[in-house]
Amino acid sequence: MREGHFLKPGVFVMLLLILASRGIFAVPQTLLPSVGESIYRAGNLSAALPLTGLRAGGASVVGVAAACVNCHRRSGLGTAEGSTVIPPITGKYLYRPDVGHLEDMDLLYAQGRISLRRESYDDLSLARSIREGLGRDGRRLGPLMPRYALDDAAMASLIAYLKTLSNAPVPGVSDDTLHFATIITPDADPLARRGMIDVLERFFEDKNQFIRGGRRVMQDHRTVAFRVTRRWQLHVWELKGPPESWQAQLHSRLAAEPVFAVISGLGGRTWEPVHRFCEQDAIPCLFPNVDLPVVAERDFYPVYFSRGVHLEADLIAAAITGKERAQRVLQIFREDDIGAAAAQSLAIAVNKAGLVSLSRPVKAASAKDELLRILQEAGPDDVLVFWLRRDDLLALPGAAPTARQVYISGLMDDFAETSLPAAWRPLVRMSYPVDLPKQRQFRTTFPHGWFRIRHIPVVADRVQSDTYLACGILAEALTDMLDIFERDFLVERIEDMVSRRVLSGYYPRLGLAPGQRFASKGGYMVHFADAGGADLVADGEWITP
Ligand code: HEC
C-alpha cells in the first residue's frame, strides 16, 4: 500500500479522531475521580505516593515523568510526532465498537499504525492494556507505552477519568458558527484598542468570506471532505470599573454569549483577573496584547507571546550582573503602572547577584521635578533603570545624568528611538524582547501588505501585528483540528504547530513545549549607534535569559 504523503501524520490522527468524535455511543458522565485525575495529570497515586511505570527494557519511570498527560495530552486525544503516533485514550475512542465505515476516510494511513478494525475495549481489557501493555486485539503495545501495576481501586478511578476526557459539551460551537471573544480592559490604550479591533474584525470577515466561496476539500484518489465551514463570530467584551469586578463581568458575559475561546485582547496595568477567569473556566485565552502577563506556567489555558516586562527585567539583570560591577541599581517607575512589577522582578535578580536595588517611584502628575531629584541622587558607579512610558521619558532633563549606565524598557516606550535627549544616548541601553527592525522586516511585510489591502490604518504596529499573528495561529490550529472542537485540544494543537510557523511577526521564533506558556523567550539588549542619530544596534546575540 502506498505511504501517505499528502496528509501529515498529525492530520492522520485527526482523521481517526473524527471517527471517534462522531460516535453514536454516549458515555455516562462520571464524577471527577480525583485519584484517576492525579494519576493522569500529575503522576501521583496520592500526595505521598508517586506513580511508577515500567518501560519495555525494564527501566522505570516515576512521578511526573510517568503521567499519562505527557504523551496522551491533557485532552486525551493524543498526538503524532513524525512516525510516532500516540493514540487517543478517551473513553469515547477506546470504547467505540469497530468502526468499519471505510467510506468515511481513507484507511490507507491506518495500515501498520493504528488499526481501526478491532474490538472495542471494555473495563477489563483496558485494565489489562494499562497493566500488561496488551492492546485490545492481544497485540503487544509499542515500547513507548509504559506498563503500570495499579491496584483495582486506582485502576477503576483512572478508567473513570479516561471516560470523562473530552466528553463534555463544548460551549461556543454550533453546527455553523464558532464563537470567539476578545477581552479589553478599561485602561487599555484607546488607539491600540481601535487598531486591534480593526484587525480582528477584518480577519473574521476574510475568514467568513472564504467560507462562502465553498467547502474546503482535501483530495486524494478518493475524496475526503471535512466540514470546516463554520463561520467565525467575534464578541468584543469590554470590561468596566475596577479590576476586582472584572471576573464577575466576564462570567456574566460568558453566560450570555458562550464562546469557544478568547482570541487576542488588550490590557493595561493588570491582566490578572482575566487570566484567572480563563484558567478557572477552562477557556483558552490566546495571545492577548499585554506587557505584564501573569507568570504561572502551571496554568494551562492562558497563552502569551512573551513574559513582557518580566522578560525585560531578566534581560536587564543579565546585562547589569554580567559585566560591570555597579554599586547600586536605582529603579524609577510609576507606582500604578506595569513598571512597578518589572522593578520588583529586577530587584530580586540583582539582589541575588549581591547588588543593592533601590526603588524610586514617581508619584507626581508632573514628573519633571521628581525625576530631577532622583537623578541628583545617582553617583558615577550607579546604574539607572527607567520603567517609564514615553511622556515621562520626554520629561527628562537634556543634560546626561551622572551614572555608569542607563537602562530603559523598550516595551514601555514602544521601542521609540526618539524619546530620550541626545546627550543621554551614549549611556543608554534598551531591552528589546522582539526581533530587530531590519531582521523582522521580511516577516512583517505580509501583515503590513494585508493591512493596506484591507484599509486598516496602522496606529499601533506591534499590537496590530501581534493580533494578526494570533489570528493566523488560531486559524491554522483550527484547520489542523478538523471537526474536533475541544478546548484542551485547541491549546495542544497550538503547542504543536506554533514552532513550525515561519511568519512569526515580531518574533524570531516561537515555541510552546507542553507546560510552556510564553512562546517567545528571549530578546536583545540594544544601544544607539551614535549620539545624534536614533538608530539602534544590538549589543550582541539574541539572549534567552
Ligand atoms: C511515554 C509515553 C506514554 C505514556 C507516559 C503513557 N502512554 Fe499510553 N501509549 C503510548 C503510546 C506510544 C501508545 C501506542 C502504543 C501502540 O499502539 O503500539 C500508547 C497506548 C496506550 C493505550 C492503548 C490504546 C489503543 O488504542 O489500543 C492505552 C489504553 C494507554 N496508552 C493508556 C495510558 C495511560 C492510562 C497512561 C498513564 C497511566 C499512559 N498510557 C501513559 C505512550 C504513552
Summarize pLDDT for 501-513 with one digit per residue, the tens. 888 999 999 999 9
Given a contact cutoff of 8 angstroms between Cβ atoms, the answer to whether 332 and 401 are in contact is no
Angstrom distance (rounded) from CA 420 to CA 408: 10
Question: C-alpha cell of 384?
Answer: 539607572
Q: What is the pLDDT of residues 349-367, one digit of tens each?
A: 999 999 999 999 998 777 8
Which pLDDT value is given to residue 72?
Answer: 93
Nearest CA to ligand 1 atom 39: 68
Angstrom distance (rounded) from CA 55 to CA 126: 18
Nearest CA to ligand 1 atom 2: 71
Ligand 1 atom closest to the CA of 126, numbered from 1: 29
Q: How far is the CA of 103 from the centre of ligand 1 (A)?
A: 28
Nearest CA to ligand 1 atom 42: 145
List the Cα angle 199/519/524 in 5-degree steps. Answer: 95
Angstrom distance (rounded) from CA 447 to CA 466: 10
Choose one of 38, 54, 85, 89 to mutate for the ligand 1 pocket test, by most ligand atoms within 8 angstroms of C-beta.
89
Choose one of 60, 75, 145 to mutate for the ligand 1 pocket test, by most ligand atoms within 8 angstroms of C-beta.
145
Q: How far is the CA of 364 from the centre of ligand 1 (A)?
A: 61
139 Cβ contact partners less than 8 Å away, ≥ 6 residues apart: none
Which pLDDT value is given to residue 98?
Answer: 59
State how far the alpha carbon of 125 is from the alpha carbons of 54, 110, 159, 241, in Å. 19, 22, 11, 56
pLDDT below 50 — which residues of the chain? 1-13, 15-33, 101-115, 117, 213-227
Given a contact cutoff of 8 angstroms between Cβ atoms, the answer to whether 390 and 414 are in contact is yes
For CA atoms 98, 32, 177, 446, the dihedral sign is negative
Q: How far is the CA of 130 from the centre of ligand 1 (A)?
A: 8
**Which of 399, 410, 407, 402 minimizes the C-alpha distance to 323?**
407
Angstrom distance (rounded) from CA 324 to CA 498: 38
Q: How far is the CA of 164 from the centre of ligand 1 (A)?
A: 17
Angstrom distance (rounded) from CA 320 to CA 341: 18
Which pLDDT value is given to residue 533?
Answer: 67
Nearest CA to ligand 1 atom 6: 68
Which pLDDT value is given to residue 118?
Answer: 57
Which pLDDT value is given to residue 212?
Answer: 52
Four-point Cα dihedral 136, 138, 139, 143, nearest 10: 80
Q: How far is the CA of 344 from the centre of ligand 1 (A)?
A: 44
Nearest CA to ligand 1 atom 14: 86
Which pLDDT value is given to residue 113?
Answer: 37
Which pLDDT value is given to residue 454?
Answer: 96
Choose one of 71, 77, 128, 139 to mutate for the ligand 1 pocket test, by most ligand atoms within 8 angstroms of C-beta.
71
Which pLDDT value is given to residue 356?
Answer: 93
Tell me which residues have their CB closer than 6 angstroms to ligand 1.
39, 68, 70-72, 86-87, 89, 126, 129-130, 135-136, 141-142, 144-146, 148, 158
Q: How far is the CA of 145 from the centre of ligand 1 (A)?
A: 5
Nearest CA to ligand 1 atom 26: 87
Q: How far is the CA of 473 from the centre of ligand 1 (A)?
A: 29
Nearest CA to ligand 1 atom 7: 145
Ligand 1 atom closest to the CA of 136, numbered from 1: 27
Residue type, 284: P
* Residue keyed to cell 560591577: 325
